[in-house]
Each structure stands twice: as C-alpha cells, then as structure tokens.
Amino acid sequence: MATLTRLEAEARARLITVERYTLDLDLTRGEDVFGSTTTVRFTAHEAGATFVELRPATLASATLDGRRLDPADLVDGRLPLTGLDAGAHELTVVAEMPYSRTGEGMHRFTDPADGLTYLYTMCCMTDAPLVFAAFDQPDLKAVFEVAVTAPEEWTVLGNGRASREPDRPGRWHIAPTPPISTYLLAVVAGPYHSVTTEHAGLPFGLHARRSLAADLDRDAEELFDITRRCYDRFHEIFDEPYPFDSYDQAFVPEFNAGAMENPGLVTFRDTYVFQSAVTDTEREVRGVVIAHEMAHMWFGDLVTLRWWDDVWLNESFAEYLGYQVLHDATAHTPWTEFAVTRKSWGYDADQRPSTHPVAPRPDDVPDTASAWLNFDGISYAKGASALRQLVAWLGEDTFLAGINDHFARHRFGNATLADFIDAMARASGRPVHDWADAWLRTPGPDTLAPVAEDGPDDRWRLTLTHGGGRPHRLRLGAYDIDPTRPEHVLPRAQYEIELPAGATPGTGTATVEHTFPGSRPDLLVVNDGDLSYAKVRLDERSWSTALRTLASLPDPLSRTVVWNAARDMVRDGELAPFDYLEAARRHLPDESATVIVSGVLGFAGGPLAGRYLPDDRRAEALALVREIADRLRAGAPGDEARQLVAVRAAIGAADAPDALLEWWRAGAVPGGPELDQDLRWQLLHRLAVLGAIDRGEIDAEALRDPGATGQRGAARCRAALPDAAAKEAAWEAMFDPEDRLSNYLFTATAHGFWQVEQRELLAGYVPRYFPAATALAERRGHALATAAGRDGFPHPFTDATTLALGEECLATDGRAGGPTPALRRALADQLDDLRRALRVRAAG
C-alpha cells in the first residue's frame, strides 16, 4: 500500500472539495468479505488528475461521471482519476472488501462464548480504504450517508441515528452526518445487547456483546451517569452545542486502542465492561476515557486537524479535558491517577531518542507512516500537561474563551496549531505564541533541582536549577516535621512562583533564587500539586525527611510528586533500587490512595525487580514486594480495592507455588477476595510460569471460562509453561506465516512466552526474534508491528547480546528488508529502555 505524503494531501486538497459520500455496505456475504458500494460527489477547482484510495479483496467496477475505469489501474491501494475538468464529478466504486482480524478496517469477531459474530469499523488513521473508496485525508471532510444490509437479527449503528427500513428485513439506513473526516466513519453491526436512554433530547445508547449483557446491565447506570454529567459539563464550558444527532457508546471486541472518537458512535475496547472485581482507580480510568472521547466530539470531530502533525490538537485536548471534566462533573479525583500513570508514560517517552515535540513541524511528519508514531505519551500526557500549564498561566476563563473562539471560527472545518494559538492570543492579549514555541515546539522534559538553606534576616533561600528553559508557573510546598510525631509532617505554606523562559527554550540550564520568610522547611516539594511538567528532584534534607514521613503528606498529588521523583531517580541511576523498595515497604501500608499503591508496586515488582536489579538480587526484591503486599492485605480488611491491588502484586511476585496453590484449591485468598475469573487466570498464569501446573489444568479452566477472556487467559498460560514443546508451539502461533492470531491473542501469547524465570529455556529464541518480528510487521501492518515490538520483545534478557542484536536489526534499512516504521519505533524504544537498565545495573 502506498503511503500518503503531506505534499500529496496538500495538492489534492487544492484540487478538489468533497461534498458527499453515499455508502452501501452488504454484510451478508460470508466470513471473508463484505460488499461495499461507494458514490462520491466532489468538485474539481481546475482541470487535473488525482486518485482515490481503496484496498479491496476484489474491485468489481469503478465509474467516473459514467465513464468506466479499468480495475487493473488500481495499484498499491490507489485508483487514478485522470482527465478531470473543473466542476462537479461523481465517482462510483463497487468492491468486495476483506474482513479484518487485526482491528483495522472492518473487524470481524466470533465470540467463543456463544458463536455469535460481531463487526465494527476502525478507519483511523489510514484504514478507511479497507471499508470504502475514500479521498483519505482529514481536511477533505464530507457528509456521509450510509445504508447497511445485515442479518435480520442484528443491530446496526452508525455516526447518525440508525433505523430499519420498513418492509426490507435486515436493511438499515443511517442518517446523514454533518461534514466529517474519512477516518471518523463508523459502523457497528451484530447481535449486540443494548441499553438505551435519553438525555437533553438526544438518544444515548450502550452496546456490548450478548455474552457481556449481564455485566453491561450491572454498570449501565454508572456509565450513563458519567456520560450525562460530562455532557452537561461540556455544555457549561463550550458555547458550541454537541454537534451530532445521537450518542452511542459501543464496547467492541479485540479493539486495538482504548477507544475511538467516531462522531455519535464511540467505540471502546470491551474490557471496559468489567467482568470481575476492579479497583476504584480502574473505574475512574474508565470514566476518564468516557470524558476523553466526548471531548473529541468538539476537538477532533467538530474542528479537525488539517494534517497529522497536529495530532496534539486532538489528543492533548481530549486528554486534558477528559481529566478536568471528570474532576469537575463527578466525585472522582482523577488528576492523581494522571500524575501516577499518564505522566510517567509521558516522561519515559520524552527521554528516549525517539522523543519529539508535542507539536512537530509539518516537515517532521512527511507522511501517514510517520504520523502513526506520534500517538504516544508525548501527544497525550505531555501535551495535556502543557495545556494544564497554559490554564495555570492564563486562567481557566481566558482559556475557555480562546477555545470557544477557535470553535466558532472553524466549526465543521479544519484547523492548525497556528489557528489555535491565534485564538488564545486574542482571548488573553498575552504572548501565547512564545509560550507555544517553548512548550510545544521543543522536545524533552525540563528539570528542576532545588537547594534550600537558611539565610539572613529570618528568611530562607531557594536556589532552583532549571534545565530546559521553558516558562513554568509552579507551586512550592513547604512542610515541617511534627515535633509531637516525628514520622509526620505538617504543612507550613504553599508559594506560587513563575520561572521565566530561558533564552533558548529546550536547551541550557539557568539558576534562579527566591527568598521566603522563616527558617528553611524540613521538606520542600517543588511542583507541589503537579501543575507543571518537569523532572523534579528533592534536596538532601528534603529527601531524608520524605523517607521518614512520605505517607503523612496530606495531599495525594504531593505524595505522587515525591514518588515520581524517586522513580525517576532509580531510572537515572541516582537512587539505589533497594532504597526505593525500602521506601515502599515503609510507606505503602499507610498510603490511602489506591492508585499510588498500585503504581509503586507495579514499578517495584515490574521494571525494578525484573530489569534494574542484577539477576542474583531479583528474589530478594520480590520477597520485599510480597512482604508489602502481605502487610497491605493485613492492614486493610474490608477495603476491597487495596486487597485486590495487594493480591495481584503478591501473585506477580511469587517465586514458589505453595501459597498460590493453597489459594487456587480454596478458591479464595485468606482474609481477601474470592477468586473471580480475572484473578483465577492471573493465579493460573503464575503457577504455569513456576511449573506447578500442566496443560490439562489450563484446558480445564478454559472450558470453565469459554469466552474471549478465557481464550486469551489460556493462550497466555500455555505459552508460559516452562516446557520446550510449549514454547515452540507458542512461538509458531505468534509468528505463523498464515497469521491466524488476532492482535489480542498475539499479545496474550507474547505475555506468557517471555519469562525472567525461564531465561535458560528461552535464550535460543532471542536471535530468532528480530527477523521473525520484522517479517511479521511487513505482513500484518501497523497494529501487529507495534504489538510485536512492544509485547513480543525479549524483555527478560537485559544483556549486551540482546542489545547488539537489536542494534543490528535497526541498522538495516526498511527498503532492504529492515523493520517497518512502526516496528522500528517500537524496537528503538525497547532498546533505549534496555540501555537504561544496563546503566542502572552498572551504577550498582
């Protein structure tokens, strides 16, 4: 398939305007293909030639203004349209399109629980031509009108209200949309279970597979309540009303992303329909995703980026508003989860060689293949953090005035970074263009390292070393040890300071000084409240105080800033991993925020124990994790969320099967939760890694849980067995040239395959991995390439040999059989993490 370049897109946008797509989809042609008839009405502004994108199984016919086009002219997914006169044109394309098993285009899934089949589209970013003939670029927006033929018992959903056609069983018509981009076209079809309501005069719907009906029904009111509250809050802050005629949320199987913002029909991965016990944090994250996707109805759908260099105009805004609107509209306090989870994702991505500005320049995104690489922690978490800084600088009212100006000027059109910054500058009268150059056009995180000391005249002095040079509006938190309880601190004061931009933001180091009344505090937290985005350090006295008193800091965001600093110091080789573990042992049993407990345990039992420590100290680290988990369980009777986090950590850190086998046989954890299906699969997986079960027990559990979750759990467990035949079978399944595994089953198998405890058994697969992943990525496209590089990478092998093999793979150009861009990016990130782990080990 040819990759669309920015220059090609610009040329096509100058030549044509697209008015309307009329689509007719036939979903009754069997398991392999569906019928797709596309009629496109467009106008050429002058005589010329262009092309339409299409990736069919079979192209039956194509006519342009009644003139037949030769199907043989379709090459690399492009059908040439030559001899265009200035004026109106009509193109009709009749094709059979392939069903997808990778979540791209029209995905087809048969539920192993009951044999029912479900379909959904995923057209982002370049996969609309797998569904219909498209001028596939975001700035050629058009009205879409869709008709669908489906089995009579199915439900069909689309971007507009869907209705059955009278007297034509199985025939559906979807109401025409306002102008939207091709990547936002959505159809969902199958025997879905639906729960519906109405709010503010609009139909709202929730939809999931029938095997999830009871689970959806149980959570429906919670989901609708969050949806209604977020909808109302967006109408409080935006002048522009919700721009579509309905709001459906479909939870679909084997979805690659967390969710997709199709106008009027948001698709979510159906793991958000919880089948087992979850923590308060997991429910909160689901709420954030609901708010995030609703924000896209304005940022992305109403006003759309012109080209993919401005992904941040979609994702950074939806990320920021998802957290802020959920915070404003509900009882959730999601910014702590953002600080623990999302910002760590952003900081990690921003310190790799593959980092990029939040808003890269157009020349840095020359084609759609390179654009895919920017859907990462920088475009989401760092971009949202930058917007949070912008709000702190301008004030929320001014920020919202700028947004509303932006919507008014570009509704149902396209916009760029410059357009948005102009709107903010008009609303504020401040030099927002300079702010944008500093925050959005430069890569890498700033660093903030304080030194606090007593000064003259009963004042203390802060010397702050600021690396990176962006402007910051910061809060400093000053705390003193409680003289009556030396393991606690008392808040003294919070100070707001502004750091000016350096001469060249993104480079250099500056030192600034401030003085404050009184003696220096025992604990100074820079960026208290986590309002800015920077790597933070604590001075020596503050760190010493934090090690004794961390759990007593009154605000979970303050505690998160300190924990994030400690995590970053471990990753930079400045804090010994066991010092981090000792802090966790001391403070997590008294930590009240589930998300902090989960985040710290996840880092301790994951990268720290698995990669940053030498092999001979892993058992010692896991023993500490188990001790923390046991103390959490003992200290939190009745607290289901903490119990669940602790049990998950204990299972992952087990290095002997005895206790796990007792839990398995009892069907419950003593004093803790019953083993629901998710916990049963986690427990069985760890027992498989430790060699305490065999395939027969896995197969028996798969019969007990015959649905998609059980299918994935069984694949993971079978691949984890410490047996040469099991490993070879898993390898053949992952890299099978027939490509029979879906993305989800590939990922589950990869997660089971690579185990630190099984390095001797797995060593021979490391040199096989790089050529196998390269071939798989070439065959199966972006989503599988990313999974192969991220989940399939040989993580247990933190050694120079793996690094050398990976570097040799990356040295091969893609045109000479090297990795595709998606795999190349994933491998580059994995190898950078490997180098970091080797540096941490070397630091001792």
CATH number of 304-440: 3.40.50.150, 1.10.390.10, 3.40.50.880, 3.20.20.140?
A: 1.10.390.10
| Residue 338 burial by Cβ neighbours in a 10 Å radius (0-12, 13-18, 19+) | buried
**CA 641, CA 281: separation in Å to the nearest integer?**
8
Q: Which two tokens stand for residue 686?
A: 């760890």
Q: Mean pLDDT throughout 83-96?
A: 98
pLDDT, tens digit (0-9, with 9 covering 90-100), for 296-310: 999 999 999 999 999
What gap in Å lies between CA 91 and CA 66, rounded to an integer? 8
Q: Is 581 helix (H, G, I), strand (E, B) or coil?
A: helix
Contact of 816 with 792, CB cutoff 8 Å: no
Q: CA 590, 596, 597, 603: dihedral to nearest 10 degrees?
A: -130
Radius of gyration of the chain from its Cα atoms, rounded to whole angstroms: 27
CB 698 within 8 A of CB 684: yes
CA distance 764 to 774: 17
> What token pair was written down for 592?
């009240």
Count CB atoms within 10 A of the CB of residue 811: 8
**Averaged pLDDT, 716-728:** 98
CA atoms within 13 A on the CB side of 208: 22
Question: What average pLDDT score do residues 746-751 get?
Answer: 98
For 663-698, b/e burial (b = at least 16 CB within 10 A) is bbeeeebeebbebebbbbbbbbbbbbbbebbebeeb
In sequence order, the 6+-apart residues with CB closer than 8 A to the CB of 766 are 794, 797, 801, 802, 805
Query: How far is Cα 802 from Cα 785, in angstroms, rounded to an integer?
Result: 19
Distance CA 148, CA 24 (A): 6
Nearest to 300 by CA among 316, 285, 288: 316
Q: Of 787, 826, 778, which is closest to residue 806 (Cα–Cα)?
A: 826
Both tokens of residue 697? 């027990």
Query: What are the start-end ranges of the H helices in 278-395?
Result: 280-296, 311-329, 335-337, 343-350, 368-371, 383-394
**3-class secondary-structure state, position 148:** strand
DSSP string, 630-699: HHHHHH-TT-HHHHHHHHHHHHHH-SSSHHHHHHHHHTB-TTS-B--HHHHHHHHHHHHHTT-S-HHHHH
Tokens standing for residue 264 = 């009027």
Give dist(CA 646, CA 635) in Å, integer: 11
Handedness of CA 464, 468, 470, 473 (dihedral sign): negative
Euclidean distance between CA atoms 267 and 202, whole angstroms = 18
Quickly tell me which residue has 């500056």 as its tokens: 510
Question: Tokens 């080789």 appear where?
Answer: 573
pLDDT, tens digit, 9 for 90 and up, residues 421-465? 999 999 999 999 999 999 999 999 999 999 999 988 899 999 999
Question: Judging by beta carbons within 10 Å of its beta carbon (0-12, 13-18, 19+), is residue 371 exposed, middle or buried?
Answer: buried
Burial annotation 726-743 (CB, 10 A radius, 16+ → b, else e): bbebbbebbbeeeeebbb
H/E segment holding residue 468: none
Q: Whole-number mean pLDDT of the chain?
A: 96
According to the CATH classification, is domain 446-552 in 1.20.1640?
A: no
> What would the 3-class secondary structure string for 197-237 be?
EEECCEEEEEEECHHHHHHHHHHHHHHHHHHHHHHHHHHHH
The pLDDT confidence band at residue 364, using thresholds 50, 70 and 90, is very high
Residue 254 near residue 211 (C-beta atoms within 8 A): no
Nearest one of 38, 822, 295, 754 to 303, comparing CA atoms: 295
Same-fold call for 6-191 versus 304-440: no
Residue 808 structure tokens: 């040799």
Longest dimension (CA), the chain: 90
- What are the percentages of helix, strand and coil residues in the chain, rounded to 5? 50, 25, 30
Q: Are 181 and 138 in contact (CB under 8 A)?
A: yes
**Token reading at 493:** 């004061």
315 and 794 Cβ atoms separated by less than 8 Å: no
Q: Distances from the Cα of 214 to the Cαs of 207, 211, 449, 592, 809, in angstroms?
A: 12, 8, 52, 32, 48
Average pLDDT over residues 718-723: 98
pLDDT class for 582, splitting at 50, 70, 90?
A: very high
* Structural contact between residues 78 and 71, judged by C-beta atoms closer than 8 angstroms: no
What's the burial of 24, exposed, middle or buried (CB within 10 Å: 0-12/13-18/19+)?
middle
DSSP 21-62: EEEEEE--S-SSEEEEEEEEEEEESSSEEEEEE---SEEEEE
Q: Where are the domains of the chain?
A: 6-191, 304-440, 446-552, 577-652, 754-844
Please give the average per-residue pLDDT across 724-733, as a whole number.
98
Mean pLDDT of the 105-116 span? 98
Question: Is 261 assigned a catalytic role?
Answer: no
Q: How confident is the model at residue 844 (pLDDT cuts 50, 70, 90)?
A: confident
Spatial separation of the C-alpha atoms in residues 479 and 493, rounded to whole Å? 7
Instruction: Examine the pLDDT at 49 and tell me if it is beyond 70.
Output: yes
Query: Per-residue pLDDT for 1 more than 80?
Result: no
Q: What is the pLDDT of residue 270?
A: 98
pLDDT score recorded for residue 503: 64
Q: Residue 299 carries which DSSP code?
A: B
Q: Name the CATH code of domain 6-191 (choices 2.40.50.140, 3.30.200.20, 2.60.40.1730, 3.40.50.2000).
A: 2.60.40.1730
Q: To the nearest whole percent, how much of the chain has pLDDT over 70?
A: 99
Percent of the chain topping pLDDT 90 = 95
Note the pLDDT tens digit of each residue in 59-78: 999 999 999 999 999 999 99
State both tokens at 252.
């679909």
What pLDDT score was predicted for residue 506? 67
pLDDT confidence bin for 671, thresholds 50/70/90: confident
Return the structure tokens found at 832.
């950078």
- What does the pLDDT read at residue 769? 98
Q: Average pLDDT, stretch 584-603? A: 97
369: pLDDT strictly greater than 80: yes
Task: Please answer whether residues 243 and 298 qualify as being in contact, where contact means their C-beta atoms are separated by less than 8 angstroms.
Answer: yes
Instruction: Name the band, by pLDDT with cuts 50, 70 and 90, for residue 403.
Output: very high
Asked whether residue 505 carries a pLDDT value surpassing 80, the answer given is no
Residues 98-117, mean pLDDT to the nearest whole number? 97
The whole-number average pLDDT for the span 19-43 is 98
Phi, psi of 575 (to 5 degrees): -130, 130
Q: Tell me which of 53, 104, 293, 315 is the catalytic residue.
A: 293
Query: If you search the block for the tokens 């989960």, which residue do you land on?
Result: 598
Q: Are strands 534-536 and 446-454 parallel, antiparallel or unpaired?
A: parallel
Residue 381 CB partners (closer than 8 Å, separation 6+): 319, 338, 342, 343, 345, 346, 349
Residue 672 confidence (pLDDT): 80
| pLDDT at residue 617 tops 90 | yes
Cα distances from 160 to residues 124, 215, 338, 342, 700, in angstroms, run 18, 26, 33, 33, 44
Instruction: Assess contact for 79 and 62: CB atoms under 8 A.
Output: yes
Q: Residue 623: what pLDDT? A: 97
> With 80 as the cut, is the pLDDT of residue 636 above it?
no
